[in-house]
Amino acid sequence: MKKNKRGALGRGLEAILQSPDTDITSTDISGNYVVGAIANIAIGKIEPNPFQPRNNFEEDTLKELTASIAEQGIIQPITVRKLGYDKYQIISGERRLRAAKLVNLEDVPCYIRVANDEQMLELALIENTHRTDLNAIEIAISYQRLIEECNLTQEELSKKVGRQRSTVANYLRLLRLPAEIQVAIRESVISMGQARNFVNIEDRDEQLKLLNEIRESGMSVRELEKKVKKINHRKKKSPLPAKYLDLSKNLCDDFNAKVEIKRNNRGMGSIVFKFGSQKEMDRILTLLKK
């Protein structure tokens, strides 16, 4: 004779599952019961995770997973937290849950946890970054949320996600890049290795110019590194002494035109008068002859 399924779960877990008071603030429940518990839960009783860091799920891989579940069922249980009696919220395994819905499963095997909101965000992030290959921007956004919403330092965050602090910092720097470059990272136009080089360029126009070059002709990480070094070397040329800056300003005033003084590190350079028409050029030449 088969044992009652609920009775087989154990008295401690049964009390947790049936308690109307069990929610994210529970503090008197043994974690041993919760972490070790596996039960089949009706899909309709599982709410989505508001902290899910992944926004996009590749259609092809989701179809493959759906076909596998239709044939073999769910091999690895999803993880949920208990919100109250017969009410759950997914922590990780959203792809499996979506695929289960596509094959019209009524219930899915679940690991049952009790977690507060900070743990929800942390668990969802860790599970996704280690198992489902989030793109670099999604990881960066999730790290930033952990820092802001859970009040963590970069050092504390690196320990929680099991990565070096320098790695965490590299991801967070991506969020300083222009939106066009962040989209390119999302769409795999540029890799994480390439993206790290864009962070080292301060000029937005230079960043976008390089992005267009990569789109048009491609560029390896090493080639991009060389380009960035040249750009930064050019930008780091010695600034003009004050007397040359004053001279440039006086020439601009005298000729009522834009005058640019250029000088390299060896003291060589040029004085450039800019004009927008033939008439303006003639006027400048006339003044120079005086």
Give the residue numbers annotated as catalytic, written as ranges.
Answer: 94
What 3-state class would DSSP assign to 46?
A: strand
Phi/psi at 107 (5° precision):
-145, 165
Q: How far apart are CA 42 and CA 104, in angstroms?
A: 11
Residue 126: its H or E element: helix 117-131
What 3-state class would DSSP assign to 242?
A: helix
How far is the first Cα of the chain from the last one, in angstroms, to the nearest whole number?
114
Q: How far apart are CA 217 and CA 257, in angstroms?
A: 39
Given phi > 0 = left and psi -120 to 50 = alpha, else beta, which region is 57?
A: beta
Q: Alpha carbon 12 to chain centroid distance?
A: 40
Tell whether the torsion through CA atoms of 15, 44, 118 and 39 is positive or negative: positive
Structural contact between residues 17 and 85, judged by C-beta atoms closer than 8 angstroms = yes
Structural contact between residues 210 and 227, judged by C-beta atoms closer than 8 angstroms = yes
Q: How far apart are CA 280 and CA 273, in angstroms?
A: 10
Q: Is 242 exposed, middle or buried (0-12, 13-18, 19+ CB in 10 A)?
A: exposed
